[in-house]
Amino acid sequence: MKKWYGCIIGAFAATALAPAVHAQDYPSKMIRIVVPFPPGGSTDLLARQLAEKLAQSLGQTVIVENRPGAGGTVGSAYVARAAADGYTLLMGVTGSHGVSYSLYSKPPYDPVKDFAPVSMVVNSPLILVRTPDVPAKTVQEFVAYAKAHPGKLTYGSPGNGTSMHLTGEMFSQATGVSLLHVPYKGSAGVLNDLLGGQLQSAFADLLVVQQFIKSGKLQPVAVTSSKRHPMFPDVPTIAESGVPNFEALSWQGLFAPAGTPPEVVNKLNGAVVKVLERQDMKDFFASQGFIVAPTSPEQFGQFVAAEVKKWGAIVKTAGVQIE
């Protein structure tokens, strides 16, 4: 009886220690970071830089695997269903984990419940730009011009439901203006029509429009973050321009599937934070318009939950949905 009882106690003890033992051995094989977009984009570029440095920090091969489709939801759903062992990770973004749950009528995953947040990696604001023929140098003047021309002041985006589109909806709701959204299939069309004068404004990626702001072909109005961006220190934020608490960030962060042992998540978090503290990584991401922003898993989880709530309200009010 004592021998049998001892075996039971031993079995329970082994079960209780399993996660710790697993974490101690982790990683013992190759790690994949799934990028839910095609190769060559900013998320892919960021993930490959991170993977290279994580491999050095963890002493194990880290590769990037592209699984694009449906605004990042295909690759994200794949990781949500993957084994919760820390060997399949996701580089999630605003669209895949802040917007998608409200945007799709039948979302393929829950961005909060189906993932274990590891850390935010970087974030960056969008920048509201206008063509020179729009007489509005400030946010107040832009709002006044829009109200004087209701439903006629155009802004372009790479497509319905993108962060550029929904930031415009957020701006409209916050200021009471009626802007005319013009969706394109990608950023190239937006830029071409802005430069050609067929489009009047856009909430754009900093890097996409940087050279055209410097040449004077496009005029900056404001950035969408709560603080000014180092790349454009003279450009005010929308919040400081009379729209209190306005903030819309384009962010990217690392996730594991829900159920991944906390010890593994914490080990990954430590490695990510260590990598992002490197000056060469800060300099590289700064050159791409990103601000390095590592967090604890708990902080990142709280941030994602708040993003889902915030964007959900914008999507509902605007009546935007993708089947």
- CA angle 198/235/221 to nearest 5° reads 25
Last residue of a domain, one of 193, 216, 241: 241
Do the domain assignments include residue 136?
yes
Q: Are residues 270 and 310 in the same domain?
A: yes
Q: Are residues 286 and 229 in the same domain?
A: no
Do the domain assignments include residue 62?
yes
pLDDT digits (tens, 9 = 90+) for 158-191: 989 989 999 999 999 999 999 999 999 888 999 9
Q: Are residues 118 and 129 in the same domain?
A: no
Q: Are residues 12 and 105 in the same domain?
A: yes
Last residue of a domain, one of 187, 222, 241: 241
Enclosing domain of residue 94: 2-123+251-318
CATH code at position 144:
3.40.190.10
Q: Are residues 99 and 182 in the same domain?
A: no
- Would you say 266 and 24 are in contact if contact means Cβ atoms under 8 Å apart? no
Q: Are residues 234 and 154 in the same domain?
A: yes
Cβ-defined contacts of 173-178 (< 8 Å, 24+): 173/314, 173/317, 173/318, 174/243, 174/246, 175/143, 175/146, 175/243, 176/147, 177/143, 177/146, 177/147, 177/150, 177/153, 178/146, 178/150, 178/151
Q: Are residues 62 and 107 in the same domain?
A: yes
Distances, alpha carbon 296 to alpha carbons 16, 29, 300, in Å: 24, 24, 6
CATH code at position 274:
3.40.190.150
Do the domain assignments include residue 307?
yes
Q: Are residues 226 and 152 in the same domain?
A: yes
Position 22 confidence tier, pLDDT thresholds 50, 70, 90? low
pLDDT digits (tens, 9 = 90+) for 256-294: 999 999 999 999 999 999 999 999 999 999 988 999 999
Q: Are residues 153 and 298 in the same domain?
A: no
Do the domain assignments include residue 323?
no
The β-bridge relationship of strands 31-35 and 62-66 is: parallel
Q: Please identify which residue in the block is written with the tokens 């194990």.
A: 60
pLDDT digits (tens, 9 = 90+) for 53-67: 999 999 999 999 999
Do the domain assignments include residue 74?
yes
Last residue of a domain, one of 217, 241, 265: 241
Q: Are residues 260 and 154 in the same domain?
A: no
Q: Are residues 111 and 154 in the same domain?
A: no
Residue 73, SS3 per DSSP: helix
Compute the distance between CA of residue 41 and CA of residue 54 in angstroms, rounded to an integer: 20
- DSSP secondary structure, 116-183, as one string: EEEEEEEEEEEEEEE-TTS--SSHHHHHHHHHHSTTTSEEEESSTTSHHHHHHHHHHHHHT---EEEE
- Would you say 151 and 305 are in contact if contact means Cβ atoms under 8 Å apart? no
- Count the domains in the chain: 2
pTM of the model as a whole = 0.87
Does the structure show a pLDDT above 70 at 149?
yes
Higher pLDDT, 224 or 8: 224
pLDDT digits (tens, 9 = 90+) for 107-144: 999 999 999 999 999 999 999 999 999 999 999 999 99
Q: Are residues 7 and 26 in the same domain?
A: yes
Do the domain assignments include residue 246?
no
Do the domain assignments include residue 218?
yes
